[in-house]
Structure 1
């Protein structure tokens, strides 16, 4: 993924468009895409700034606040399945998929093998 162009360039482009030049002429003069000129101008009109928006980020973990409940249920019930654990979480008001439960268990290092004593 490429990084954002400098704010100085963005400001010069927006100033040129504000002075009356067409977006195509400004794009050609500064060596940027016409779509960039249009988007930067729109952002400036909407927010008053040409600074780029936030890129990327992290999603918060939905099951982290319920870790104690999940660990307790795994320790209490040896034949608990992912789907049943998902249903129990759903009854508590936490709607997730069974894949979310599996990823949480794997990330936490919690074993979910029902036949751990068998060789």
Structure 2
């Protein structure tokens, strides 16, 4: 994901339009797309600010409410595979998730899904 344009550029583009220039002229002047100019003018009109919105995932995935259940399940049966855990999530909670999603969650929680030999 790319970085948002600097606030200074955003302000200059909107000021150029507010000075009576067209969106197309503003895009040519500042070497940006017409859509960017349209978006900035609309953002200024609707919110009064030109701050960039937050990018990326806010962290509210399908599994976010089940962290504790997953921890407890792995304590009960520590030799569960990712596929088995994904099937249990589907059967007990109605969540269809891929094994890689379960693996990433376990990694974030600091848990291991690997079987250990004694």
Q: TM-score range by the shorter chain?
A: 0.5 to 0.7
**Who is 1:103 aligned against?**
104
TM-score (norm 1): 0.64
Q: Which runs of 5+ in 2 are unaligned?
A: none
For 1:28-107, what aligned pairs fall within 5 Å after superposition? 28-29=28-29, 31-35=30-34, 36-56=36-56, 58-60=58-60, 62-63=62-63, 65-77=65-77, 79-93=79-93, 95=95, 96-107=97-108
Counterpart CA distance in 2 for 1:68 and 1:51 is 37
CA RMSD of aligned residues (A): 3.1
Structure 1 outlier segments of 4+, above 4 Å: none
User: Which residue of the partner structure matches residue 21 of structure 1?
Assistant: 21
* Bigger radius of gyration among the two: 1
